[in-house]
Structure 1
Amino acid sequence: MAINRNKYLKPFKNIFILILVVFAVWMLFFDANSWLIHHELNTEIEDLENEKEYYIKEIEKDKKDLKKLSTDEGLEKFAREEYYMKRDNEEIYIIEYDDSLKTKNDE
């Protein structure tokens, strides 16, 4: 049994291998720039890049909406649909269906 244990411990008797192992463990787990911290930072960077892409798409969509609102027809359509505005000689009837109404159970 002692021979088998010596076989496994033989590489650790070499001071250079021992220092290399200690250095590798230190750099991977305990150092301020460890692999774990780099992994967390890389994950955060990916999340921020995904968020950046989302906001770029939202900005493009808002630019299209602003371009539509810059015309008189687009502005009138928006005012009619969102704020139920009307011309002086018009009347507006809002038709709501039962499935579109909010009830106390839905809230």
Structure 2
Amino acid sequence: MLQKILRKLGSFYVASGLGLLLWMTFFDANDLPTQIRNWWTLHELDGEAQYYRERIKTVKTEQREVLGNDRLREKFAREKYWMKKPGEDVFVIVDEHNEPLEK
């Protein structure tokens, strides 16, 4: 008699555990496909954050170079933003990587 009760309880716990595992894997708000999608999005956003950190470093370096010198400020505006005085043409000579020859 005791063995029948233990066998029924054991199958109840196994069935409950499998049901809970099935529910958590596919039907819960934090199911497995959602977790994989969230992980992939996090991975993409980390890559974007790294790109923007590098871009900020580049901009800060350019800012330090340009702010202290009027001549460099004018050169920077002409080369980077193609600014010119009225009636003037500006030519920037670039290498094969589209970088200006003068730094």
- 8 Å contact kept, 2:84–2:90: no
The reply on whether 1:58 has 2:55 as its aligned counterpart is yes
Amino acid at match of 1:30: F
Give the fraction of aligned pairs with identical amino acids, expressed as a percent: 27
Structure 2 residue ranges without an equivalent (≥5): 1-9, 94-103
State how 1:28-43 maps to structure 2 within 5 Å.
28-43=25-40
Structure 1 residue ranges without an equivalent (≥5): 1-12, 86-90, 97-107
Structure 2-normalised TM-score?
Answer: 0.61
**1:88 matched to which residue of 2?**
none
How many residues are matched? 80
**Cα offset, 1:44, TM superposition:** 1.3
**1:74 matched to which residue of 2?**
72
**Cα offset, 1:66, TM superposition:** 1.2
Q: Deviations over 1:33-73 (max 9, x none)?
A: 21221221121112111111111111111111111221223
Change (3 A) 1:45 1:74: same
Question: 2:30 & 2:51 partners in 1: Cα distance?
Answer: 30
